[in-house]
Structure 1
Amino acid sequence: MKKWIALMLVMLLLAACGEEDSSAGTGEMPQEVEVEFNTEETADPGEEVLLSATVTQGSEAVEDADEVVFEVWQSGARENSEMLEGTHTQGGVYEHAWTAGEEGLYFIQAHTTARRMHVMPKMELTVGNPDPETIVPDDSEDADAMEKMGH
């Protein structure tokens, strides 16, 4: 009799645990977290630029991202990049004010961690009217940036 009672208790506990997360075990993948830049693609040297990105999952704005960090570097100089923490404003928008440096092509990467996912979209920002001869394509490794985030 005690074995039956113990077995029933175990079955009740398992049933209760299964109800907490109804999607567990259904094979459904959560929707991907997406990041879209709102930042203008051009600026003047010395101009304040609002680094801005909207974070969504499906049609829902992500108001609770664990981290949105804007990495900014001039072409050919990723080793000198700046890591700038984004602040949540509203509607899934995260921002940081940054002052553009000298003329050139800059890269901005939004390292975003939200809902147990990490995405790292990248955009280009042209400051002033740079000489095309000075522009170096970005062939840096994103793994290097991940290491820098840990420091």
Structure 2
Amino acid sequence: MKQLTLLMLVFLLLAACGNEESGTASSGNIEPLTVEILTPEKVEAEEPTLLSASVMQGEETVEDADEVIFEVWESGNRNGAEMIEAKHTKDGVYEAEAELGEGLYFIQAHTTARLMHAMPKQEVTVGNPDPASIVPDDSDDTEGMKNVEEHTGH
């Protein structure tokens, strides 16, 4: 009987330790992942463009995102999108640089963190493009997911 009690006690201790060691995703924080693109909506042509996004979960900055990948394409050319991996800088901000010619571009920040995924999209006007050259973006975001999968191999 003592052996059975001792065995159960050891089992309970191991189970309790396992609960304390659980990661962020199971720590009870069910707040959604929010991603805000910080890149201005209008930038100068012929200069590198800083792509920037802030990643939060509730009021907490996310310093440990699994990946933040900026998908960048010129209006009307989603198939020609460029995938640019961002690096964490500070305070939940992830950044990368892009060389963009004059035109209207779309930026989508594919962000995976804490077993969640967010992918906000924003228009960015570079320089003073000819309005006749601008094509509305009617692409489906599943195209973007395919681009990320091809880029990352996931």
Shared fold (TM-score, shorter chain, > 0.5): yes
Change (3 A) 1:69 1:16: same
Structure with the higher helix share, 1 or 2: 2
With normalisation by structure 2, the TM-score equals 0.81
Unaligned runs of 5+ in 1: none
Letter in 2 for 1:147: K
Distance 2:43 2:19 in 1: 53
- Report the secondary structure of 1:143's partner residue: helix
Distance 1:15 1:82 in 2: 46
Distance 1:104 1:6 in 2: 72
Give the corresponding residue for 1:49: 49
Distance 1:137 1:89 in 2: 32
Q: How many residues align?
A: 148
Q: How far 1:150 sits from its partner (Å)?
A: 1.8
Q: How far 1:73 sits from its partner (Å)?
A: 0.3
Distance 1:128 1:11 in 2: 65
Letter in 1 for 2:68: V
Letter in 1 for 2:116: M
> How high is the sequence identity, in percent, across the aligned residues?
59
Unaligned runs of 5+ in 2: none
Q: How far 1:18 sits from its partner (Å)?
A: 7.8
Change (3 A) 1:73 1:5: same
Distance 1:15 1:111 in 2: 36
Q: How far 1:13 sits from its partner (Å)?
A: 5.9
With normalisation by structure 1, the TM-score equals 0.83
Give the corresponding residue for 1:125: 124
Give the corresponding residue for 1:88: 88
Q: Please, what is the CA RMSD of the aligned residues? A: 2.7
